[in-house]
Chain A
Amino acid sequence: MIPAPFDYAAPATLAEAFSLLEQHGDEAKILAGGHSLIPMMKLRFASPEFLVDINNIPGLSHIKEENGYLKIGALTRETELDESEVIRSKYPIFTDASKLIADPQVRNMGTVGGNIAHGDAANDHPAVMLALRAEVDISSSEGTRSVPIDEFFYGFYMTAVQPHEILTEIRIPIPNGKTGNAYHKLERKVGDYATAGVAVQITIDDAGVCTYIGIGLTNVNPVPLRAVRSEEVLLGQKVTDELIKEAAKYASEDCNPSEDLRGDEAYKRSMVNVLVKRIIHKALERAHA
């Protein structure tokens, strides 16, 4: 439980942070909430030589609706999501998720940016962001680029963020019409990573036809997975129980879970099937409400 030796700096500006990152290259790691990174360092699964603590940099923590987007600063804490009025009223999917992330101590520190930048398919925000079709702002000394969430996750602990870059903001298109979203995961006990998790956002028109659907899956695939075939079943159709069942079945077939202590592959597929059904129904309920 004692990490290997490392150096540490807490720059006050993005520019300073960029220069430190450039200077230390692969040996540096960004420290946000520290609740994924520090455990890995304590177990010596990770031994970065240099930590760039971004917590003192202003302008990275906010939740606001602006220009058609919900904007979440990378340093926004889970607790802040939980307590935000706009999130609670319009994006309950985030409070569904953050309530299931670890425990209050972790949520007081853990950041939304760190949660996705960690690149772990076991984390809960990736699936949520997939369902909401987020865009991710990534900055460096060269400027800021915007990456659609579908192109963000590369592989196990690998994302579009390069060593000299910092994830600064996540942007979510503000949904219109009758929209509902929801998230749920099965866990063995509180604080556990998902056995399987499902994020859904759905929009329906007055005739009950689905005009938007996003379905993201947690921890049942090497990278966070968007259930594309399931979305296609519903999009443009009048939503029925039969179609929801079909979408759930597709999701259970298209994911690629691996066996671990939480369960074998068949079990996890079966749970994806159950959850997709339940969460679509819940999102629909919220859309109607």
Chain B
Amino acid sequence: MIRCKTSKEISGMGHSMKRKEDDRFLQGKGNYVDDIQLPGMLHMDIVRSPYAYAKIKSINTEAALAVPGVIAVVTGKDLEQYNLHWMPTLMSDTQMVLPTDTVMYQSQEVAAVIATDRYAARDGREAVMVEYEPMKAVVDPYKALEPDAPVLRSDKEGKTDNHIWHWEVGDKDATEKLFNEADVVVKEQMHIPRIHVSSIETCGCVADYDKVENHLTMYMTTQAPHAIRTVIALVAGHVGLTEEKVRVISPDIGGGFGGKVPVYPGYVIAIAVSFLVGKPVKWVEDRSENLQADSFARDYHITAEMAGTKEGKILGTRFKILADHGYTDAAANPSKFPTGLFSIGTGSYDYGTAYMEADAVYTNKPPGGVAYRCSFRVTEAVHAIERITDRFAMEVGKDPAQLRMENFIKKEDFPWKSPTGWEYDSGDYHAGLKLAMDTVEYDKLRVEQAEKRKNGELMGIGISTFTEIVGAGPSKDFDILGIKMFDSAEIRVHPTGKAIARFGTKSQGQGHETTYAQIIAEELGIPAAHIQIEEGDTDTAPYGLGTYASRSTPTAGAAAAVAARKLRDKAKKIAAYLLEVSEEDLEWEPGKFFVKGAPEKVKTIQELVFAAYTNHPQGMEAGFEATHYYDPPNLTFPSGAYICVVDIDKETFEIKVRRFVAIDDCGNIINPMIVQGQVHGGLTQGLAPAMYEELIYDEDGNILNGTLMDYLVPTAVESPSWETGHTVTPSPHHPIGAKGVGESPTVGAPPAIANAIVDALSPYGITHMDIPITPYKIWKTLKAKGVIE
């Protein structure tokens, strides 16, 4: 049970307050980019490449311009005149806005059609004739590194291969020595496939440039509006769009999951066209464009190894990664972290030796490397460690739960230094797994499984006990394009004691309008219902780096608490003044200060705020406002213990997830109902790559499943009945002890499911299967093994 310090009326932390934003969402009154209609607005559609790699011989726009309503067709050559045909990526690589001569991946933007309505734009797109000369595409990242592979980025001077960067962490020599001498070494080759966030709302914008005011308002599906404004000003400052002349508005967003962090060519083209014609330009992708061209996630090929003793003590791990980045490195990572936070991959286990290395390559596939609801490559890391841990348990003949219990970092050993350099803030891994095991009745399940195996039935139990790393991040290490990864809150309390608070983050469904209000309610005792939350408008909100990687609560949530405490200090001064006592004589209870030992001498927060405007002490600044920019001292390390039970049909190999128990530890909980909702959504997005989702390309770089008919996003029907629970281990360094939860389930679920399926198939000698694990894949695997005819 979660204990609440505040009354239900105040609804501070721990209350399952209904989401304030849901009134408008449930009544269809949300305001998304595509809802925005401006006078004279033009519409844009984009011609895309049917080839993965081709020379553009010619672009004929005549027929398109003849379509009624079409007013312009923009090509790379047009943008070249303004030096706008290239743009930087978040990882300081370069990306075409529109090509002048070569296309590098299927569905790449080739030209933009501008028309007076959406239908004409689409008909115009159909009429643009592009002549291509296809070239042999490089699709396989291993082949991309072969010496005779064509050099894809010939636009980069001096580039002689397709290698992007090398990264490593840990002690290579010590790890090698350990592996050479260890009793037991296990190794598996894993592919964490390319997937796509497929948020319900696709990406889009309305670029509205006002020639008279020389001012750009950019309505945009972005998770990081402030950073985007700075980027626009840096890129377009030379044409007069300096930062005070740019306003980015991120209205309601229908799901982000990392896919709305990058800058896509469509945004840039829309700005350029609006700038040139002085009219608003709307661009909204359709579903297939979103799936085929926008940033992918994952696509890591990992060789995972674990060394240990015959008794099952883990001694070390070694991971080698090949990262397929597609045409350019457009990953959304903090600048100094090309593999994101993959180095969390030593996991929840107590050992001191590890080495990880990664190489990134270019291929003829769309660029990306976004989160898919995961803190910077943590899903890849967790999959590697949790799968190889099971493999190790199998090798030494130990129950995987038992083996984990024996290897966990102990509660009393936190803060704990990991072999790759992190300092885990807090955790109680034993308690989490124990609760999960008790909930699922683990021992009984193992007995049942043994019985079933005698009859040839396929039942599996899979565990994942993961450690997350979120809340990027401390300014000494974390920046994006040089901007430090703090985040901000600004609270303004009106004379009647009601408040508005603004943030540098941007909710895309996380429920910020409720949870931030609850944090402030907790600290100030003002009812959360009377605290209005605003985000997403760069003209009004304080600067921040946005919402992704489970960072909002760890950073902006902390900023809210600290700003509220500044106000509480001010309230205390006013209370002392009004009650004619010294500050030391006052005691705080949510919503009021009273004199110690004389509770009838009391001032409510509402009275104190009113006094700040009507009767404030001489020498004190009037008003009741505070701002805080929170620079986290460390990241936070949420954790979880997940257990999955599957039954597999022994003829069709259909997989039924019978149970899934998820015990999360995200530190102190702000709103249990929202946390549960986040966990349900996250688990479903963990089920997705485990059993359904993968972007599949043929050897020519054609996408084979470019619509939702074949890119299989699971629905409520596929989702099991999630059983959730929690342990609470507060973060010692976070002002309210919270850690972040949005991504834990997406990160932790896939290996639990994969481990369960492999466990079910282990009597056939299966030790590993790559996700997504489908009935067809099981059939093929068993056939190759000669198990079935």
Contacts and interface: CB of A to CB of B under 8 A. Distances in A.
Partners in one complex: yes
Nearest to A103: B715
Contact of B287 (A1, A103, A195, A270): A1
A189 B705 contact: no
Contact of A189 (B123, B712, B776, B779): B712
A21 interface: no
Interface residues of B, number: 31
B654 interface: yes
Contacts of A188: 692, 712, 774
Nearest to A271: B652
A267 B652 CA distance: 10
Given A2-B119, A274-B652, A192 B712 contact: yes
A186 B718 contact: no
A238 interface: no
A191 B704 CA distance: 18
Contacts of A266: 783
B521 to A, nearest CB: 40
B287 A189 contact: no
Contacts of B774: 188
B126 interface: yes
Nearest to A262: B776
A143 interface: no
A261 B779 contact: no
A267 B780 contact: yes
A58 interface: no
A241 B441 CA distance: 39
A88 interface: no
Interface in A1-48: 1-2, 4-5, 43-44
A155 interface: no
Nearest to B705: A261
A286 B709 CA distance: 33
Interface in B773-787: 774-776, 779-780, 783
A263 interface: yes
Given A2-B122, A189-B717, A263 B776 contact: yes
Interface string B705-744: 1010110111101100000000000000000000000000
B696 A261 contact: yes
B122 A189 contact: no
Interface string B751-778: 0000000000000000000000011100
B600 interface: no
A190 interface: yes
Given A2-B119, A5-B123, A261 B717 contact: no
A267 B776 contact: yes
Interface string B197-236: 0000000000000000000000000000000000000000
Interface string A48-87: 0000000000000000000000000000000000000000
Which of B709, B713, B714, B718 has the largest number of chain A CB atoms within 10 A?
B709
B776 A1 contact: no
A270 B692 CA distance: 21
A191 B118 CA distance: 29
A4 B718 contact: no
B715 A190 contact: yes
Given A4-B123, A186-B775, A188-B692, 13 more contacts: A5-B123, A43-B288, A44-B126, A186-B652, A189-B692, A189-B712, A189-B714, A189-B718, A190-B715, A190-B718, A261-B705, A270-B788, A274-B651
30 contacts: A1-B286, A2-B119, A2-B286, A4-B123, A4-B126, A5-B123, A43-B707, A44-B126, A186-B652, A186-B654, A188-B692, A188-B774, A189-B692, A189-B715, A190-B715, A190-B717, A191-B715, A192-B709, A192-B712, A261-B696, A261-B704, A261-B705, A261-B710, A262-B776, A263-B776, A266-B783, A267-B776, A270-B788, A274-B651, A274-B652
List the 6 shortest-distance A-B pairs measured between CB atoms, nearest first: A190-B717, A2-B122, A1-B286, A274-B651, A263-B776, A189-B712
